[in-house]
Copies of this chain bind each other. A is one copy, B any other.
């Protein structure tokens, strides 16, 4: 039970919303992975609030890498990423939080940390921490791309509106990675944005579903028990704040299918074994089969809404009401996709490093 993930490639997250800095340490990176600042910044941009559908708060999120790189490449020793917190206003906060916000982590943090938690702005639970996760993921993702492994996530559903499905994976991935509001259908994207604006107007928020595709994963990676590819990915995906469901391939759609409608028949494509359908989302028995990995994450609506809500006073031990103020997102789904991509890269980097050894992700020499 730790704030780190991975066996061969490990990411440890640290920091609080209103502390000095947030950051991550990545241990187990191969030596010789190129560090591309533009790439990292592009990934950071994908997570940044955009326009009128996001919080007006602006963070510069300057990523500093203070260790583990030399002459533009990873050295093979731990990479520490730092993002300083600016404009934090710790004086605004009292000693402790008395009224926990519904569906936030205020109350569970109190139960776990006994009042020692840094409650300011959500502390260590704040979505702000994901900035460090995106930066760490970007380092790994860049190495994966050099190996031909591409990751992309679109909003497949929001407020009752569904996006198109993936058709040409590589092209679709490139497309959604080039836009800040990632949908495959422009029309669907337009309607979704409207839904978000409606939510904002009514002091409310919306949830949705993110769908991710990964192409280029070698077959034969994963374990039959416990460290299945699905299990390892789901484990880290549930760290993305607001994720409350993860499914692979048909996922919950399998529930109403017969075996004859669900199985993926094999066939040869040249000298490569492929499946005619990909209902299993690229994984059989916990191990990759060489087809694209496909999974979807349910994203709950942002719990910060500007309406009066029922809560309790922890000091008084009595019921109370609360109205949250401040700057918040009516939807975080378009920003969350950058985090989904990042943690996917981290998990796959870990799996591949373990499978093929500690030099695998580097460029060799």
Interface check A344, CB cutoff 8 A: no
Of A49-57, A166-174, A266-274, the one with at least 4 CB within 8 A of chain B: A266-274
Indicate if A87 sits at the interface (CB-CB under 8 A): no
Within 8 A of B (CB), among A247-306: 247-268, 271, 273, 275-276, 279-281, 283-290, 296, 298-305
On chain B, the residues within 8 Å of A318 by CB distance are 268
Q: Nearest B residue to A302 by beta-carbon distance? A: B259
B21 and A80 form a contact (CB under 8 A): yes
Which of B73, B117, B158, B312 has a CB less than 8 Å from the CB of A76?
B117
- Asked if A227 is an interface residue, CB under 8 A from chain B, the answer is yes
Q: Which of A37-45, A139-147, A176-184, A229-237 contacts B (4 or more CB under 8 A)?
A: A229-237
**Could you give, for residues 198-230 of chain A, a 1 whenever the CB lies within 8 Å of some chain B CB and a 0 otherwise?**
010010111111000000000111111111101
A interface bracket (residues with beta carbon within 8 Å of B)? 35 or more
- Residues of the B chain whose Cβ atoms lie less than 8 Å from the Cβ of A237: 231, 234
CB of A134 within 8 A of chain B? Answer: no
| Least Cβ–Cβ distance between A106 and chain B, in angstroms | 8
Interface: A100 (CB within 8 A): yes
Q: Is A310 interfacial (CB-CB < 8 Å)?
A: yes
**In angstroms, how far is the closest chain B Cβ from the Cβ of A121?**
12
> Min CB distance, A255 to chain B, in Å?
5
Across the two chains, which residue of chain B brings its CB closest to A330?
Answer: B259
Q: Are B247 and A247 in contact (CB under 8 A)?
A: yes
* Cβ-based interface call for A164 (8 A): no
Chain B residue nearest in CB terms to A364:
B114
A311 to B267, CA, bound (A): 6
Residue A1 interfacial (CB < 8 Å): yes
Whether B238 contacts A234 by the Cβ 8 Å rule is: yes
Given A223-B1, A251-B244, CB of A108 within 8 Å of CB of B288: yes
Q: Is the CB of B289 within 8 A of A111?
A: yes
A108 & B287 in contact (Cβ 8 Å cutoff): yes
Contact residue among B202, B222, B239, B276 (Cβ-Cβ distance under 8 Å from A226): B239
Please state if A207 and B77 are interface contacts (CB–CB under 8 Å).
no
> Is A89 engaged at the interface, CB distance under 8 Å to the other chain?
no
Measured in the bound complex, the distance between the Cα atoms of B231 and A244 in whole Å is: 10
Which chain B positions have C-beta within 8 A of A220? 108, 110-112
Let me know if B15 and A67 touch, CB within 8 A: yes
